[in-house]
């Protein structure tokens, strides 16, 4: 059931499509979703595959829809002999307005370090792309009581040397690795505790004003059944949705859980 929440007025719900959907399939998705969002009180964005960015951005403009289109990764170089890589300026040219960086699958499958992610964050900001920075602990790290230290290390290393002004452009996403694609989900209380910790860590590095304004999403097996209990938490300002964002009807059902959208 929708319920009252009191924080950042409009939460941001981002669909991360990972390696799913062609450009044509993305357009079909948008044609179904866009008409449903006319009265939406939720900001919506979709991180689509590289090959779908241009077509998706064009379709959003054609539909006059309030949906941001972004990417799921990028390289920290402007150009060069990096086979298979994509630069921020290329994403911007294709129509992307944001980029997910540091997703757990990039950190753990592709062994990306926080230092490398920090370079990407800086390049994204330089090129006018808004970063969604992901941080989160593994199941083993949580069991060992290392959650706070892992979040502190990932956050500070991934955002090192950013100014307060640059921090205003950052979106943070807490994604417990043990809940990614597993069907498991942190309880609302566990998620809220981690989000509060993230906000306190930002306050310690960049001040309370920056921390208070920071938008923090939760990601990890988000579904229509648990979205409302997550969104009602004081320090959860949005959701990063994986598999449940692939069907427009299911994704919209998640959006409906925020108070003020007709169910």
Catalytic residues: 103, 175
CB 105, CB 72: distance < 8 Å: no
CB 74, CB 123: distance < 8 Å: yes
Find the helix or strand (DSSP H, E) in which 44 lies: strand 43-47
Beta strand spans in 95-147 (E) = 98-101, 130-135
Measured distance CA(172)–CA(111) in Å, rounded: 20
Per the listing, tokens 């950042």 go with 8
Q: Please give the C-alpha separations between residue 146 and each of 111, 149, 153, 177, in angstroms, as whole numbers.
A: 20, 5, 11, 13
Per the listing, tokens 């402007």 go with 78
End-to-end CA, the chain: 9
CB 179, CB 220: distance < 8 Å: yes
Residues facing 13 on adjacent strands: 44, 239
CB 251, CB 224: distance < 8 Å: no
Per the listing, tokens 């009602």 go with 232
Angle at 74 between CA 124 and CA 51, to 5 degrees: 120
């Amino acid at each position: 059931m929708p319920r009252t929440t009191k924080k950042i007025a409009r939460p941001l719900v981002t669909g991360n499509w990972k390696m799913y959907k062609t450009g044509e399939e993305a357009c079909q998705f948008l044609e179904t979703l866009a008409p449903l969002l006319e009265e939406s009180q939720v900001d919506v964005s979709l991180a689509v595959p590289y090959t779908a960015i241009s077509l998706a951005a064009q379709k959003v403009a054609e539909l006059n829809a309030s949906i941001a289109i972004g990417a799921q990764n990028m390289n920290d170089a402007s150009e060069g002999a990096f086979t298979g890589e994509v630069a921020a300026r290329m994403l911007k040219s294709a129509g992307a307005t944001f980029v997910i960086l540091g997703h757990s699958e990039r950190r753990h499958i592709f062994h990306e370090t926080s230092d490398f992610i920090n370079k990407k964050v800086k390049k994204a900001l330089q090129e006018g792309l808004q970063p969604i920075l992901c941080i989160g602990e593994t199941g083993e790290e949580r069991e060992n009581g290392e959650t706070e230290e892992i979040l502190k290390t990932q956050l500070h290393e991934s955002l090192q040397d950013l100014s307060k002004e640059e921090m205003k452009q950052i979106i943070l996403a807490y994604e417990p690795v043990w809940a990614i694609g597993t069907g498991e989900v942190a309880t609302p209380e566990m998620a809220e505790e981690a989000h509060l910790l993230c906000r306190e860590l930002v306050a310690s590095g960049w001040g309370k004003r920056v921390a208070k304004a920071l938008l923090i999403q939760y990601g990890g097996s988000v579904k229509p059944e648990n979205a409302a209990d997550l969104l009602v938490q004081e320090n959860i300002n949005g959701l990063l949705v994986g598999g449940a964002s692939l069907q427009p009807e299911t994704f919209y059902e998640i959006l409906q859980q925020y108070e003020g959208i007709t169910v």
